[in-house]
Amino acid sequence: GADNVPHSCFIASRDGGATWKISPAAIPGTPPTSESAIAELADGSLLLTMRNEARAGTRAWARWDWQGDVLQGKWSAPWLTVPDPTCMASLIRHPHGELIFANPNSTSRRIALTIRSSTDSGKTWSAGRLLDPAGAMYSCMTVLRDGRIGILYESGTEAGLVFARFPLEWVQEGASVTTVPEARTETTGKWGWWPARHAAKVAETRSGSGEVIFLGDSITQGWETTGKAAWEKHFAPRKAANYGFGGDSTQHVLWRVRNGEFDGASPKAIVLLIGTNNARHGDFTPEQIAAGIRAILDALAEKCPRSKVLLLSILPRGADATDAMRQKCEAVNALLPALADAQRVHHLNVNAKLLAADGTLTREIAPDLLHLSPKGYDLLAEALEPKLKELLPP
């Protein structure tokens, strides 16, 4: 500004960008502001969120109401709300109408990147969902083709730039992403194989899937490669089918169950192993992860009401019982017996079969302390055999 103090405004054009006009400052006095983000509200007015250069620990906000032609209008009285460590933030309006806001949830440190929602044009905001507890700074959000929200942000760790995706439902109060079905829609890159594998499994189901379906993540998919010998020995004679997808969490399996992979299927049994990726990625509690597993069981009951389900405890990971991820998985495992009724859903914990006598997980069994070796798959198959014989009598 003319006073050599930063003030926030917006510029607008009505001729496709040939000419532009600049608005008055949203806050012509104090506090000084910078690094603003803007969103159009349902009534056409604009909401501006601004970095507060007074270092007050909160964001500055103002609303522009149009009064005729371009830049004819006025700003509302500004207000301060939402913790902020004097940092850039991002703001969008979702096609469903909700405002989505992302910034570090701290008054002094650039940490704890949090996503909030507002349904009253920014007057109030949800408590927010923690996306990244570590250092996180500048961010930019967009709405993806499938309605999920994508965010690119600067991490304070060695990760550098990070891209993450989440459904709108996760941001909304009371929702847990573990129970919200989520697909992977990329056709290139890391997950480019995922849609094609899903389509193949849908086709496999339509042509008559196996009598036993193994459903889960990379550990299940690994029966096709590292565990192939054990699979051929123990499960191929049972006409088993592998519906494991590497990287899947509960929300991905839930989407697959609800979107064709089990339509019309009626296997004698479904072996479900899922949850370790939820423990590794995100800030999910054991209760939320168990809720995601329950949602899968409920979906399977709708799709395959006559099929028995063998629910496996999350397999051990990490070198020993002091490993934080193993502890989280064990906390989930403690909740799983309650999901089984011993009639349609049966629970089985085979973890002791994979561990040494002192509770350690050796690299002979799991080379990366997570995914199984051929010997690990042999042990797992042998541990499953008695229960499968019980569930699948001749």
Query: Which of 39, 55, 5 lies closest to 25, judged by CA?
Result: 5
- 212-216 and 240-244 strand pairing: parallel
Residues 6+ apart with CB under 8 A from 210: 238, 239, 240, 241, 267
Q: Which amino acid is at 369?
A: L
Taking the C-alpha atoms of residue 339 and residue 187, their distance in angstroms, rounded to an integer, is 35
Q: Where are the alpha helices (DSSP H) in 207-256?
A: 218-221, 228-234, 250-256
Taking the C-alpha atoms of residue 156 and residue 111, their distance in angstroms, rounded to an integer, is 8
Other C-beta atoms closer than 10 Å to the C-beta of 74 total: 11
Structure tokens at 93: 């309006």
Taking the C-alpha atoms of residue 306 and residue 304, their distance in angstroms, rounded to an integer, is 6
Taking the C-alpha atoms of residue 1 and residue 390, their distance in angstroms, rounded to an integer, is 78
83 burial via Cβ count (<10 Å: 0-12, 13-18, 19+): middle
Cα Rg, the chain, nearest whole Å = 26
* DSSP-derived secondary structure letter, 260: I
Cβ atoms of 167 and 182 within 8 Å: the answer is yes
Structure tokens at 289: 């992860």
Taking the C-alpha atoms of residue 208 and residue 68, their distance in angstroms, rounded to an integer, is 64
Taking the C-alpha atoms of residue 37 and residue 180, their distance in angstroms, rounded to an integer, is 29
Q: Which residues are designated catalytic?
A: 218, 368, 371
- Whose structure tokens read 């969902």? 129
